[in-house]
Amino acid sequence: MANCGKRKRVVVSMELRLDALKRIHKGESLKTIALSFDVGESTVSDWKETRKEIGSFCSKLETEGALESWSTLKKPKLEKLDDSLLLWFNQERAHEKPISGSIIKGKAVLLHNKMGGNEDFQAFEGCLKIWEKRHGIHALSICGKNCLRTPRKQPSFLKKLKIW
């Protein structure tokens, strides 16, 4: 008796997608890759078509952990604000200034207003958590100068992106 139910939805991380793209680049067939990831051939074909977008997106992720946990190509709604906030954050951390979540949210509102954005903009806690996850920023339990730190890019992580 045939299974008439819906096909199971499989979520594949960016790390595994990069692995699949590397295998495609080496000449492996889409069918064998699809079987190994338990997805449809059309899904693997879509990854192949969007390989530049996947590579670009993954290169912006700051840590290898983010590469493993991220599974969609969603960009931030306010990309310029996201980039500006990260630039400011890295400059402040270069001076070893401790930065709390409320300071980051306040700076996000200030930068948004400077960019001519809507006056009603609010930086919510959820947005902060996603921003921190995207850029690999995490709070450390050490008191003093190193309260928050951005991780450095790892060579093994960068090698995964050089598949083309």
Question: Do 84 and 65 belong to one domain?
Answer: no
Residue 122 covered by a domain: yes
Q: What gap in Å lies between CA 150 and CA 70, rounded to an integer?
A: 18
Question: Do 27 and 63 belong to one domain?
Answer: yes
The domain in which residue 112 lies consists of 79-142
- The strand pairing partners of 149, in sequence order, are 138
Q: What local confidence, expressed as pLDDT, does residue 69 receive?
A: 64
Q: What gap in Å lies between CA 148 and CA 139, rounded to an integer?
A: 5
Q: What local confidence, expressed as pLDDT, does residue 141 receive?
A: 42
Residue 36 covered by a domain: yes
Q: What gap in Å lies between CA 121 and CA 139, rounded to an integer?
A: 25
Residue 117 covered by a domain: yes
Residue 163 covered by a domain: no
Q: What local confidence, expressed as pLDDT, does residue 121 receive?
A: 84
Question: Do 84 and 50 belong to one domain?
Answer: no
Residue 158 covered by a domain: no
pTM given for the model? 0.58
Residue 5 covered by a domain: no
Say if CB 22 and CB 14 are below 8 A apart: no
Question: Do 63 and 85 belong to one domain?
Answer: no
Q: What local confidence, expressed as pLDDT, does residue 142 receive?
A: 39
The CATH number of residue 23's host domain is 1.10.10
DSSP state of 139: E
The string over 32-46, giving b where at least 16 C-beta atoms fall within 10 Å of a residue's C-beta and e elsewhere, is ebbeebebeeebbee
Residue 159 covered by a domain: no
Q: Is residue 149 helix, strand or coil?
A: strand
Question: Do 112 and 61 belong to one domain?
Answer: no
Question: Do 97 and 132 belong to one domain?
Answer: yes
The string over 105-117, giving b where at least 16 C-beta atoms fall within 10 Å of a residue's C-beta and e elsewhere, is bebbeebbeeeee
Domain count for the chain:
2
Question: Do 65 and 95 belong to one domain?
Answer: no
Q: What gap in Å lies between CA 93 and CA 148, rounded to an integer?
A: 8
For the chain (164 residues), the mean pLDDT of every run of 10, in chain order, is: 68 86 92 91 91 80 64 78 89 87 89 85 85 74 46 53 55
CA angle 129, 134, 139 (to 5 degrees): 50
Q: What local confidence, expressed as pLDDT, does residue 61 receive?
A: 67
Count of positions (residues) in the chain: 164
Q: What local confidence, expressed as pLDDT, does residue 143 receive?
A: 45
Secondary structure E strands in 6-113: none
Question: Do 52 and 103 belong to one domain?
Answer: no
